[in-house]
Amino acid sequence: MTNPVTNPVTFQDVRKPPLIELRLWRQFLAVAEELHFSRAAQRLNMTQPPLTQAIAQLEATLGLRLFDRTKRSVQLTAAGAALVAEARDLLARAAAMPGLAHASADGEAGRLRLAFVSTVGFDLLPRWVRAFREQYPKVQLELIEATGDVQLEAFGRGEIDAGFILHSPGFAPPGLVCKRLSRNPLVVAVPEQSALADNATLTLKDLLDQPLVIFPRRSLPSLYDAIFAMYHAAGYLPRVAQEAIQMQTIVNLVSAGIGVAWVPDSVRQFQRPGVVYRALKGSKGRAVPGCETSLVWAAGAASPALLRFMAFAPD
């Protein structure tokens, strides 16, 4: 028999999701855990009548009865029992929100979307990511492999926060802040069966007639232009045998004997059978081009989490 002094529940139209204050969920949880209105009211430092009214209000808002109440007992209905764990989780997350907000403002929590070119993945990125995740486990770090041109498009759409790019020395993408992280010489990946592999170092003259495996200009325009300018200064037009986007693919094509390739020195770590790497000597005052790796981000858009990450990417 239901308690005759309890006001009847008037159910409202719930076709639209109701907005329910955290206060009501806190009161519901106290009654659900105590299964006694008087004890729950004491726990909440309030009197029983307002608590009874609050539970009736919550039931009316939901359009569901959450408790079966008699003069002697209070029991959860199936609907009420289903909400207990969810209410605990909701209140716990609400209690954690101020701390999360402060942590995000300090760069110790939140999300950081980092794009990177494949060459960074050989050395720099794994070291920094490992250390960053250990120190800031609450930052959700999303890593997206993308060439430089794809990164520029992603910046325009607001899909990434920062990116690691490869470029020729001194180049800075328009509209982005550029922090140089490292500078490497270019080396030549040579098929192991080629006669060129017998030399410890090579000169440009050794390579002018060799078919070339290279990345498309759209992927690395500044470095592509620097390599072509070197050939042009020697009076040659590079004989491009094959284009490929990823450095690993380029090295694999060299292994297949398709041609030679200019790659950053860091690519030496990608040991592929059938390929050897050779350093280059400048000749007649012409220096061999180098390349730089930089971290870039939109001007004025360095988030606290990105500023924290920069500590792992020193000058």
The residue extents of the domains of the chain are 22-105, 110-180+293-310, 184-290
**Taking Cα atoms as reference points, which of 262, 260, 225 lies closest to residue 241?**
260
Overall CATH class of domain 110-180+293-310 = alpha beta
The Cα 255–Cα 272 span in angstroms is 7
The predicted model scores a pTM of: 0.66
At residue 237's C-alpha, the angle toward residues 236 and 241, to 5°, is 130
CATH number at 22-105: 1.10.10.10
Question: 2-6, 38-42, 112-116 — which is least confidently predicted?
Answer: 2-6
Tokens coding 273: 């059978």
Coil, helix or strand for 114? strand
- Enumerate residues 6+ apart whose C-beta is below 8 A from 231: 204, 208, 237, 238
CA 27, 28, 30, 31 torsion: positive or negative? positive
pLDDT at 6: 47
pLDDT at 33: 94
In what helix (H) or strand (E) does residue 81 lie, and over which residues does it extend? helix 78-105
Q: Is residue 97 classed exposed, middle or buried when 0-12, 13-18 and 19+ CB atoms within 10 A define those classes?
A: exposed
Q: What is the mean pLDDT of residues 261-284?
A: 85
Q: Is residue 174 classed exposed, middle or buried when 0-12, 13-18 and 19+ CB atoms within 10 A define those classes?
A: exposed
pLDDT at 107: 64
Q: Strands, E, within 192-267: which ranges?
A: 201-203, 212-214, 240-243, 261-264
Q: How many CB atoms lie within 10 A of CB 62?
A: 20
User: pLDDT by residue (tens digit) across 167-191?
Assistant: 999 888 888 988 888 888 899 999 9
The Cα 298–Cα 164 span in angstroms is 13
Residue bearing the bigger pLDDT, 279 or 300: 279
Band of pLDDT at residue 289, cut at 50, 70 and 90: confident
Question: Same CATH topology for 110-180+293-310 and 184-290?
Answer: yes
Q: Strands, E, within 240-301: which ranges?
A: 240-243, 261-264, 275-281, 290-298
pLDDT at 15: 56
Q: Do residues 206 and 199 make contact, with C-beta atoms less than 8 angstroms apart?
A: yes
CATH number at 184-290: 3.40.190.10
What mean pLDDT, rounded, does the chain reach? 86
